[in-house]
Structure formats: C-alpha cells, structure tokens
Amino acid sequence: MAMRWPGRSLSILIYHRVLAQPDPLLPDVVDARRFDRQMALLRRSFNVLPLATAVRALRNGTLPPRAACITFDDGYADNAEIALPILHAHGLSACFFIASAYLDGGRMWNDDVIEYVRQARGTELTLPGPDGFDGLKKLTIATPRDKVAAIGALLSALKYQPAARRQALVAAIAPAATPRLMMRSDQVVALHRAGMEIGAHTASHPILASVPDAAARADIVAGRAALEALIDAPVRLFAYPNGKPGRDYDARHTAMAAALGFDAAVSTLPGVARAGADLFQLPRFTPWDRTRLRFWLRLQHNIITST
C-alpha cells in the first residue's frame, strides 16, 4: 500500500556549533564539511525560510510545501566565523538564539567540563571533593570513547543541579586554559547586518522551571534588551534554554514569552509544526547524523512520524 505523505509542515533544525575540523570528543557536533553538505541538501530539497517568515506563514495558513528553518542556540563564535560563510554560499538564512551574558569572553559551564576531561591525563579521572563529584568519584578516560562517555556523565550529573551548586562544582575543575568560545558583540552585529535573524535565549541561560518566576522573566527581558541594544532592532523570537517542555519550561514561561511581545518561541521537542501549531512551543530537532543519507532519512522520518 502506498504511503500517504503528510500535509504541509515546518521542519526547524537546531545547531549549536560548527567546528573547523572534526573533534573526537564532540562526535555529534558538525564540522564545516558536514555542515556544508547538509546545507546543500537542505537547499535542494526544502523551501528554507527565515524563521519569522515561517511563523507568519504558520499563523496565516500560507506555509509552502517542505518548509524548513535553520536555527543556532547559545551564541558560539564559530557560528559567525564558520557557519555564516557556508550559509551565504548556499543562499540560506538562519536564526541565532544568543545568551547575551556570555558575549565578549564568557564561558558556558558545559565547555569547562569538556575541557576538563580533554586536558586530563592518564586512564582514570578522580573527581574532587570528599564525597566525589555529585555522586561521581572516578571516571575512565583511557580512550577518546571513554572521554566522550565521561563528558556525558558529568554533563548529565550537573545539568539539573541548582545553579549555585553547579557553579561551585564546575569552578573546582575548570581549567585555566579553557578556550574562549562565545561570540563577541561585534560578531552579533555582523550576523544581523548579513541578513541573519537574531533571537533571544535569556541572558544567563538558566533552566527557567528551576528559578522563581520573577527571576525567569527578568533573565528573558535582560537577554532581549542586550541584543536589541547591540543590533538596534527589535528581537521578536525566543528559544527556551535546554527547551524540554515540562522539564525545562512550562506554561508559565510560554505565557511570559507571549506577554513580553515575542512573536514565537521554540523548544527542543522533536517534531514538525503544522497549521494550528502552538507558536510558543514550536518543535525543533538536532541533525546528529554523520552522513548525508542519514541526515536525509532523519528529515523524512521527522516529518512522517510527527503528528
């Protein structure tokens, strides 16, 4: 029996970084070559739209067939240095959701963890503290695969810790030589001038559901205000940090985003958006795939299986 193809839908892709070269400790992060191939395939096979245009089309019922958007979260410098020229080469645009407090030399805690494991020597990592590191005491780091697993274990252990405790734990291991990976303010301005969309992602990237409502709202407001001051233009799109509905944000925060005047907000719930979608919980998915065929199959699977 022939498969019935679903109606018109919007696929929104999430990226965080685009590396100059593959990194064995970040096997799921695209490098420039892989990103270039993905963008070529996306341009050939989809109608790639700016996110604001896609939101209007969803609202008005005018979404074109096989619509797609490209988004980036957090504000890594390689977005401007590596991703932007590739996007330009393919005539594509993207929306960059930037956590403003990390601009101009800030570091995200997860990058400190990655560099801690990267710089570790020997075959076993003994974590500091009399009771271990939030329950972890020793991690095997004999091979690159072991180090990838160790990074995953540490990130999982820390992600949902209270912010002050997480900061203290990371400070105990943060290497002095952690690279400065986030954008400068002038790179945000350059993205905007290049025709890219700039979206808000809070100032300090808190898990909104874990902080008081007033603090969550203030962080959202501060992040947008900082970006608007930089680009001298309204910022109308928002991405929830981490972005898992019910875990990282909830109905209080979708209401905040709407009340603050954003046009739409995006989550990290996999799937596609169709007519009638909640514009303040638009689904997105990450193309982890390492070959063009798997990337293509994931795009198709995401469309077919989403309801």
What's residue 261's pLDDT? 98
| Lowest-confidence region among 124-128, 183-187, 220-224 | 124-128
Tell me the per-residue pLDDT of 212-222, one tens digit each, with 9 for 90 and over. 999 999 999 99
Please state, in angstroms and rounded to a whole number, the distance separating the CA atoms of residues 104 and 101. 9
Please work out, in degrees rounded to the nearest 5, the angle formed at the alpha carbon of residue 12 by the alpha carbons of 258 and 53.
Answer: 60
CA distances from 305 to 65, 66, 104, 301 (A): 17, 15, 41, 6
Q: Which of 49, 94, 88 is nearest to 75 (CA)?
A: 94
Q: Whole-number mean pLDDT of the chain?
A: 92
Q: How confident is the model at residue 2 (pLDDT cuts 50, 70, 90)?
A: very low
3-state secondary structure 51-113: HHHHHHHHHHCCCCCCEEEEEEEECEHHHHHHHHHHHHHCCCCCEEEECHHHCCCCCCHHHHH
Q: Name the fold adopted by 10-106+182-305.
A: TIM Barrel (3.20.20)
Top-confidence residue, 255 or 178:
255
Kindly indicate the confidence band of residue 307, based on its pLDDT and cuts at 50, 70 and 90: low
Question: Taking 60 as the threshold, does the pLDDT of residue 25 lie above it?
Answer: yes
| Domain edges within the chain | 10-106+182-305, 109-171
For residue 1, pLDDT over 60 is answered with no
The pTM assigned to this predicted structure is 0.93
| Average of per-residue pLDDT across 129-157 | 88
Chain segment 241-285, per-residue pLDDT in tens: 999 999 999 999 999 999 999 999 999 999 999 989 999 999 998
Query: Could you tell me what percent of the chain has a pLDDT over 90?
Result: 78
* Confidence band of 130 (pLDDT split at 50, 70, 90): low
> Is the pLDDT reported for residue 122 higher than 60?
yes
Q: Is the pLDDT of residue 291 over 80?
A: no
pLDDT of residue 65: 92
What is the DSSP secondary-structure string of 224-255? HHHHHHHHTS---EEE-SS--BTTTB-HHHHH
> Do 200 and 227 touch, CB atoms closer than 8 A?
yes
How many Å apart are CA 151 and CA 145, to the nearest integer? Answer: 10
Q: Which residues contact 292 (CB under 8 A, 6 or more apart)?
A: 37, 38, 41
Q: Is the pLDDT of residue 72 over 80?
A: yes
